[in-house]
Structure 1
Amino acid sequence: MRVALITESFLPTVSGVTTSVCQVLDHLARSGHEAMVIAPTGAPAAYAGFPVHSVPAARYRQFPVGMPSPQVHRLLADFAPDVLHAASPFLLGAQGIAAANRLDIPSVAVFQTDVAGYARRNGLGPAAAAAWRFVRWVHEGADLTLVPSTASMLDLRRIGLRRLDRWTRGVDLAGYHPNRRTDPAVAALRQRLAPNGELVVGYVGRMAPEKQVERFRALRGVPGIRLALVGDGPSVPAIERALAGMPVSWLGRLDGAALGRAYAAFDLFLHAGTEETFGQTLQEAHAAGLPVVAPRAGGPIDLVAHGENGLLFAPDDESDLRRCVTLLTRDPALRLRMGEAGRRSVLGRSWQNVCDQLLGHYETVIDDRAAVRATVAVPLSMQR
């Protein structure tokens, strides 16, 4: 199979979209498929043995945003893929889907970013409705849109999209594992984070307005805890102000083994943002055997079974956030039970399994497009 991936985010930018695209490319390479990537400028020239083609981009909040380019049509025409994978399509992805349709290439679009939610949170009013119209316009051009959560599925059905299916995200079940807590490096990190044996409330993710990390201020005064924050981004100064005087360890951006050690050093995981279409870090925390506290909104609704592998708080109620965290800090048996349940809940979500499912979606749209071609060709042949 020949797969063209067009992505709004790629290395060196680290994001959920980048992680998913890299995992897909790794899987395609292991499986013997061919691929090429179209990404915003600044990307490496190759990944997993596949060529990466850069197109011009503008900067927005530290992220490169790929701009429409005449290269896109030419690159797709020259590569002649069996299918186009558009990762979190925006301007660049929309152009890729349109070019694929002109070239009679089936396409799969992956919905991953709540653009309309960002517009709403920033008080843009009518822009939220306009954003949803844009989302509909982009995704209507794709043969299939893959959706990560029940909440996202409802949102997209509400705006009239119908060619939808579920596709979740994979998780590294070896890199994030409860057994890592016995690692001496984890013990050393934990001693640094909680020198007096405090419970470590951890967070991993981008420090950006939509993540709402400032809401951790609700934990001010909760006895016996320390906060450990992993990530960077434009909201760091605002978060520092919101959490001033609280016991906080800033670990910066981590990946690979260092990130696995950070999860292993936490006692529980807290996510405060209400605009997650999925919530990759939540299932990483579950893989590490941690109970998760998250809002009852968006992707976390599918990942956190309230009272089983974590707790869901009322999205706009910081006192409920505090109540949930406090409950877990006071009950070690409950933390252990929920952490074990969290680990069990992700055991079927290895990247191998998830990417195999994606290949099945590729095959579906390829077969469906071939069937359409056949129904058009038959009457023509009968006329000869």
Structure 2
Amino acid sequence: MRIALYTDVFVPNVDGVVTRLTRTLDELGELGHEVLVLTPGSPPGRWGPHRVLRVPSVAFPWYRDVRGGLPSPRAERAVSAFRPDVVHAVNPVWFGAWGALSARARDLPLLTSFHTDVPQYMSVFGHGLGVLRRPVERWIRTTHNLAGITLCTSGPMVERAETLGVRGAALWPKGVDTELFHPAKASPAMRARLTGGHPGDRLVLSVGRLSREKNVAALLEPLRRLPGTRLAVVGDGPHRAELERRFAGAPAVFPGRLAGEELAAAYASADVFAFPSTTETLGLVALESLASGVPVVGARAGGIPYAVQDGQTGLLVPPGDTDALTGGLARLLDDAALRARMGAAGRADAESLGWRAATEVLVASYQEAVERHRTRRQRCRRPAP
């Protein structure tokens, strides 16, 4: 199958959407499918067997590390030459929306995927963007409903899509790399690095894009209340400088982005993973932590309850409740047996997940989109009685 994939985010960006896309591309290649990726930014020219085409873009002043792709004659010619069997529009708000519109104009089968609750983020970003929330919700409903099949990354996101009026919302199962992320990757050297040279102290880890909506600043007060505890904030993004200023003088380190074996060692070397974000659609980093045998303390919001089983693989606390967040972290940090039990349960849960199974669901959905498109065309051609 030949798939044209339109996405506003791709490598070298690092976030949950990019991770899902790159791992899916790996699996699609191994399954014998070919993808043309169209994306803005500074992507590589290829990802495995798949061609990646850079498109013109504009910067978003409120989120400078993400660029919005623009349609171009070169991109349209590339899609025409590629002759896709199906078009996949990722988060059709900006460039993904152009992909959806282009597919309809070309009369091609179309599937969309819903990864990011953009309307919810607009209130977080400020800059007066909150007034655009309702128009953006209507636009999302319109663009997703061009397809008739929308895959969502968690159960709560299926519900959110349905609330927005998106038809045909279904689950794209979660996946995690259980070979890379593994308890055996724990490293004394990495623990020393993440604790600022105090490996005997307790270590709380946060991983992700450092942007305002991730709510990392919520960890500052718990860190102040938990003596003998250190925080490592792995990642980069537009909010990093402000976070470093706010955490100045606190026992926290900001090692920047880590990837591959270094990231795996960071997860496995921590005692507890903290995830205070309230806007996650899934929380892939939580799954990576569980695969590493490290329990999670997260906000009971968005897709986090879909990733973390409260009381079994971690603890969920009310969003924005500093006392509850502090208490959840303290409970796990103070009880090594509980950490070990939840860590083992998290690892067992992660082992039941895999990118191949998730990708097979995607391929079946592509095939369904093709079949629906064929049926619709046949109905349109059927002569009136």
For normalisation by structure 1, the TM-score amounts to: 0.93
Conserved 8 A contact 1:17-1:87: no
The answer to whether the aligner puts 1:106 opposite 2:109 as a matched pair is yes
Query: Equivalences for 1:54-133 in 2 at 5 Å?
Result: 54-60=54-60, 61-123=64-126, 124-133=129-138
Taking a change above 3 Å as real, the CA distance of residues 150 and 50 of structure 1, as seen in their structure-2 partners, is: closer
Conserved 8 A contact 1:82-1:106: yes
2:261 match: 257
Displacement after TM superposition at 1:41 (Å): 4.2
The answer to whether the aligner puts 1:350 opposite 2:350 as a matched pair is no
The answer to whether the aligner puts 1:339 opposite 2:340 as a matched pair is no
Q: Of 219, 225, 241, which residue of structure 2 is paired with 1:216?
A: 219
Conserved 8 A contact 1:21-1:87: no
The code of the aligned residue for 2:259 comes to D
1:170 match: 175
Conserved 8 A contact 2:38-2:52: yes
Which string of whole-angstrom CA distances, capped at 9 and with x for unpartnered residues, describes residues 307-350 of structure 1?
11111111021111111101111111111111111112222221
Displacement after TM superposition at 1:55 (Å): 1.1
Conserved 8 A contact 2:8-2:40: yes
**CA distance in structure 1 between the partners assigned to 2:147 and 2:107 by the alignment:** 11
Count of residue pairs the alignment pairs up: 377
Which secondary structure state, in structure 2, belongs to the residue aligned with residue 133 of structure 1? helix
The code of the aligned residue for 2:189 comes to A
Conserved 8 A contact 2:91-2:97: no
**CA distance in structure 2 between the partners assigned to 1:39 and 1:192 by the alignment:** 35
**CA distance in structure 2 between the partners assigned to 1:99 and 1:241 by the alignment:** 45
Q: Of 276, 295, 300, which residue of structure 2 is paired with 1:296?
A: 300
Which secondary structure state, in structure 2, belongs to the residue aligned with residue 206 of structure 1? coil
The code of the aligned residue for 2:200 comes to G
Which secondary structure state, in structure 1, belongs to the residue aligned with residue 225 of structure 2? coil
**CA distance in structure 2 between the partners assigned to 1:59 and 1:320 by the alignment:** 38
The code of the aligned residue for 1:81 comes to P
Query: Equivalences for 1:1-384 in 2 at 5 Å?
Result: 1-60=1-60, 61-123=64-126, 124-181=129-186, 186-194=187-195, 195=198, 197-219=200-222, 220-379=224-383
Taking a change above 3 Å as real, the CA distance of residues 247 and 41 of structure 1, as seen in their structure-2 partners, is: closer
Displacement after TM superposition at 1:248 (Å): 0.9
**CA distance in structure 2 between the partners assigned to 1:188 and 1:171 by the alignment:** 25
Displacement after TM superposition at 1:72 (Å): 4.1
Conserved 8 A contact 1:77-1:103: no
Conserved 8 A contact 1:276-1:300: yes
Percent identity, aligned pairs only, is: 37
Aligned Cα root-mean-square deviation (Å):
1.7
Conserved 8 A contact 1:139-1:145: yes
Conserved 8 A contact 1:72-1:96: no
Displacement after TM superposition at 1:3 (Å): 0.9
Conserved 8 A contact 2:244-2:254: no
Which string of whole-angstrom CA distances, capped at 9 and with x for unpartnered residues, describes residues 208-248 of structure 1?
10111111112213022111111011111221232222211
Most deviating of 334-343 and 43-52: 43-52
**CA distance in structure 2 between the partners assigned to 1:202 and 1:226 by the alignment:** 9
For normalisation by structure 2, the TM-score amounts to: 0.93
Displacement after TM superposition at 1:179 (Å): 1.9
Which string of whole-angstrom CA distances, capped at 9 and with x for unpartnered residues, describes residues 142-188 of structure 1?
2311111232222221121121100133211011011222xxxx112
**CA distance in structure 2 between the partners assigned to 1:370 and 1:305 by the alignment:** 41
Which secondary structure state, in structure 2, belongs to the residue aligned with residue 62 of structure 1? strand
**CA distance in structure 1 between the partners assigned to 2:159 and 2:42 by the alignment:** 35
**CA distance in structure 1 between the partners assigned to 2:131 and 2:114 by the alignment:** 22
Displacement after TM superposition at 1:378 (Å): 4.0
Conserved 8 A contact 2:173-2:361: no
**CA distance in structure 1 between the partners assigned to 2:162 and 2:31 by the alignment:** 33
